[in-house]
């Protein structure tokens, strides 16, 4: 089964294509975006987006992850990503980012809510976990809007090997 698109009121979530790599590099390559995540490197160099996008089809086929490009429905403009990774049976981990021009518009909440509902309905995901940096309270607000509950505060090494404070959230559905 091919990865389907997901439509919301304002957004179209679709699989990435290699043609998206330049926009991904431009958006994710901003230091302010990288600083809000555990995994996006900075600098975001040539080839990184293509390499990342190339992993998506096999993750979907193997049911280990699903990654979507978040696009504005009317303009088709790529603004970020939302994903479920580390899929193990009915459990997964939510991740997302959007480019700076699209912050504080509710796009992450809208996209993540649609993905969680899709995953519950079509691939049997009933438990979703999300982790955000303590230094990024906006991400915590997204998770709270989704109805996720805060379960733990911890520390873990970040992408540079430095200890970073994290907040862990979970949600379950039946």
pLDDT of residue 51: 98
DSSP symbol at 124 = -
pTM greater than the 0.85 cutoff: yes
Helix, strand, or coil (residue 164): strand
Phi-psi label, residue 104: left if phi above 0, alpha if psi -120 to 50, beta otherwise: left
- The residues, ordered by sequence, that sit 6+ positions from 4 with a Cβ below 8 Å of its Cβ are 122
pLDDT of residue 158: 85
In 3D, which of 74, 82, 101 has the Cα closest to residue 142?
Answer: 82
Q: What are phi and psi of 33, to 5 degrees?
A: -75, -50
Are 83 and 96 in contact, with CB atoms under 8 Å apart? yes
Q: Whole domain around residue 14: which residue ranges?
A: 6-172
In 3D, which of 156, 154, 155, 128 has the Cα closest to residue 142?
Answer: 128
pLDDT of residue 30: 97
- Cβ neighbourhood burial of 19 (10 Å; 0-12, 13-18, 19+): exposed
pLDDT of residue 174: 60
Low-confidence ranges of the chain (pLDDT < 50): none
- pLDDT single digits (tens) 13-33: 999 999 999 999 999 999 999
Strand pairing category for 11-14 and 163-172: unpaired
- Would you say residue 51 lies in a domain? yes
Number of domains in the chain: 1
- Would you say residue 1 lies in a domain? no
CATH number at residue 117: 3.40.630.30
């Amino acid at each position: 089964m091919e990865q389907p698109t997901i439509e919301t009121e304002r957004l179209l979530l679709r699989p990435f294509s290699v043609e998206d790599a330049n926009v991904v590099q431009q958006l994710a390559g901003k230091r302010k975006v990288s600083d809000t995540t555990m995994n996006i490197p900075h600098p975001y160099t040539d080839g990184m987006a293509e390499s990342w996008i190339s992993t998506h089809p096999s993750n979907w086929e193997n049911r280990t992850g699903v990654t979507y490009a978040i696009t504005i429905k009317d303009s088709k403009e790529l603004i970020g990503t939302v994903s479920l990774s580390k899929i193990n049976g009915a459990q997964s981990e939510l991740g997302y980012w959007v480019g700076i021009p699209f912050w504080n518009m509710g796009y992450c909440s809208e996209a993540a809510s649609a993905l969680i509902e899709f995953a519950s309905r079509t691939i049997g995901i009933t438990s979703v976990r999300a982790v955000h940096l303590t230094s990024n309270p906006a991400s915590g607000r997204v998770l709270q809007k989704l109805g996720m509950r805060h379960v733990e505060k911890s520390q873990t090494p970040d992408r540079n090997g430095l200890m970073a404070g994290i907040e862990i959230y979970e949600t379950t559905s039946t």
